[in-house]
Amino acid sequence: MVAPVSDKPSRRDPAVRAVTLALSDPFEPRDVKFKPQMVKNNRALAIAYVDVRLIQDRLDEALGAENWQDDYEILPDGSVVCRLRLNLGGDWVTKTDVGSPSEQPDGGDRLKAAFSDALKRAAVKFGIGRYLYRLPAQWVEYDPAKKQIVAPPQLPAFALPRQPAAPKAAKPAAPKPEPKAAEPVAEAKPAAESKQAPAADAPKSAGLPADGKELHRRLREYDAKLAAQKLCQPGSLLAHVTQAGVKAGYSANMTEWAGPAIPFAVDAVKAFEQAARAPKAEIRTAA
């Protein structure tokens, strides 16, 4: 017998939903590349794609480097199977797909392309870059001599990153941090090198990001600096701030944050860095 369908809507873990939204967010237009699928004289059918390193960066940003794994199997025909495992809400979920080798003359390059293709295809099953498959086919100018597309097509609105939303009154207000709390995000420097901000009553006067997109950009830069100092894994800071924001009632998409969400993020960054620096000092003492 078929089990009856419940009238109650299914409830998803908000933290898992936040991660899946972050995974599926469109890439920046400058990161989307196009290659010719079919060429007719000086016209080509443009197909969109992204570099495999962007897939890896997205996994690091949305989950943290420690929360995803990939393993591969080479098939007799040169294809490669990728098993991509993501830690979603404490459960490891696996998606599998197969990548094909390229037509490059070097065997190593063909195999490398199959590995990249396999990871991309498995990542699509988690929503990463899936929107690229919905792009309309477009014929563009093509240079036969250089064997490249002259000018890439324009991306439609649904293929652009989510724009910052206007502040919502329903969002819970977070206490304003002291000016020093804003320094890691505002100045993108370690706390010891930053200077006292002149005021904290307005985001611009305190040097805070003007909107969620700027906040996300600065956090990525600061995340990279902390990772370079061996204080955290790449993407850990972004994941920490995003998850803290979701618990506080903010959007899972940081680029939509505005108003009180900005100083809230600054507080989260300060707490993260203080916790990250403490164990580092202990490791040096033990060494």
Give residues with Cβ within 8 angstroms of 78, minimum separation 6: 101, 110, 111, 114
pTM of this prediction exceeds 0.85: no
Give residues with Cβ within 8 angstroms of 73, minimum separation 6: 80, 81, 83
Distance in angstroms (rounded) separating the CA atoms of residues 31 and 171? 32
Bridge partners (DSSP) listed for residue 33: 49
CB-CB contact of 41 with 144 (8 Å) = yes
Distance in angstroms (rounded) separating the CA atoms of residues 98 and 82? 6
Backbone angles phi, psi at 237, to 5 degrees: -65, -45
Q: Which of 230, 48, 217, 44 is nearest to 141 (CA)?
A: 44
pLDDT tens-digit series, residues 63-111: 999 999 999 999 999 999 999 999 998 899 999 999 999 888 888 888 9
Backbone angles phi, psi at 285, to 5 degrees: -65, -40
Taking 50 as the threshold, does the pLDDT of residue 283 lie above it? Answer: no
Cβ atoms < 10 Å from Cβ of 128: 24
pLDDT tens-digit series, residues 191-212: 444 444 433 333 343 588 888 8
Determine what percent of the chain is predicted with pLDDT higher than 70.
77
Determine what percent of the chain is predicted with pLDDT higher than 90.
33
- Please state, rounded to an integer, the average pLDDT across all residues of the chain: 79
CB-CB contact of 113 with 101 (8 Å) = yes
CB-CB contact of 122 with 72 (8 Å) = no
Q: Going by DSSP bridges, is the β-strand pair 68-74/43-49 parallel, antiparallel, or unpaired?
A: unpaired
Q: How confident is the model at residue 116 (pLDDT cuts 50, 70, 90)?
A: very high
pLDDT tens-digit series, residues 120-175: 999 999 999 999 999 988 899 988 888 888 888 888 889 888 754 444 444 444 55
7-35: b (≥16 Cβ within 10 Å) or e? eeeeeeeebbebbbbbbbbbbeeeebebe
CB-CB contact of 41 with 143 (8 Å) = no
Distance in angstroms (rounded) separating the CA atoms of residues 51 and 84? 17
Q: Which of 20, 148, 30 is nearest to 89 (CA)?
A: 20
Distance in angstroms (rounded) separating the CA atoms of residues 44 and 42? 7
Distance in angstroms (rounded) separating the CA atoms of residues 238 and 227? 11
- Helical (H) or strand (E) element with 243: helix 236-247
Q: How high is the pLDDT of residue 193? A: 43
Distance in angstroms (rounded) separating the CA atoms of residues 7 and 16? 23
Distance in angstroms (rounded) separating the CA atoms of residues 20 and 25? 9
Q: How confident is the model at residue 11 (pLDDT cuts 50, 70, 90)?
A: low
